[in-house]
Amino acid sequence: MDEYLLDLIGRMDRPVELGKEKSLAIHRSDSWMAFREAERLDQAKHVVPLVSFIETEQRAELRGWAYFILGHIAKNGADAETTQYLISRVGYERDRQPLIILLERIKVLPKPEGMDVGPILELLKYQELLVRHSAIRALDHCSGAEVEEALADALDESKDPEDFMCANEVLGKIGTLRSIPFLEKRRYFTKRGFANSVGSAVAEITKRCGTWEAIQAGSVGRGKEV
């Protein structure tokens, strides 16, 4: 990999020496500045070297920083091919830290209908809750009934209110009328704020797609088709 990327990843991995002014130290650190630098990158020339680094690097932390950089390049350059590559890596990454970083970067990337998000769907029942919640949130900016239905099906047997809080947030953004029964079924969970979370998701869906009466009439479609 070229010297610039190696140096950038090295600076991202550099520990911060904290003194009395902890916040000031963090915001002046080489590491903090390196992350801000990585967030601005958009050059396609960096993609191939980063892919090679990710697939050969043994240190989990360094793979995580490479995912962070590549995710921002995909976002800033509106690069669907790199987005699909990042999603494919979900099926291969076994270390928690880089996997969560990877899912967090995927979350903000557009994933149009037809893009294969299968590796993310495979994690919707993952035993470790931090990974599972990151996987649910990574379905934000998806399109297509397949994703919506897979999310509802995967969580149908869950007893973890946090799973549904995450799902409510995502379905409020990507869901259609078909998601409303799934949401309403859990409106009265005892967790504080859960009913408001469901209500917000339903309101966002009906604002985008139509009204609850359309479902009661048995006319459920995709998007604004009711």
Q: pLDDT band for 213, please (50, 70, 90 cuts).
A: low
The predicted pLDDT at position 27 comes to 60
pLDDT digit string, tens, across residues 1-31: 889 999 999 999 988 654 444 554 556 688 9
pLDDT digit string, tens, across residues 158-179: 878 888 889 889 999 998 888 8
Express as a percent the part of the chain with pLDDT over 70.
84
Per-residue pLDDT at 224 exceeds 50: no
Express as a percent the part of the chain with pLDDT over 90.
53
Least confident of 26-30, 136-140, 177-181, 216-220: 216-220
- Name the more confident of 11 and 155: 11
**Extents of the domains making up the chain:** 1-111, 144-226
Per-residue HEC secondary structure of the chain comes to CCHHHHHHHHHHCCCCCCCCCHHHHHHCCHHHHHHHHHHCCCCHHHHHHHHHHHHHCCCHHHHHHHHHHHHHHHHHCCCHHHHHHHHHHHCCCCCHHHHHHHHHHHHCCCECCCCCCHHHHCCCCCCCHHHHHHHHHCCCCECCHHHHHHHHHHHCCCCCHHHHHHHHHHHHHHCCHHHHHHHHCCCCCCCCCHHHHHHHHHHHHHHHHCCHHHHHCCCCCCCCCC
Per-residue pLDDT at 147 exceeds 50: yes
Q: pLDDT band for 121, please (50, 70, 90 cuts).
A: very high
The predicted pLDDT at position 184 comes to 82
The pTM for the full model equals 0.85
The predicted pLDDT at position 223 comes to 45
- Name the more confident of 203 and 52: 52
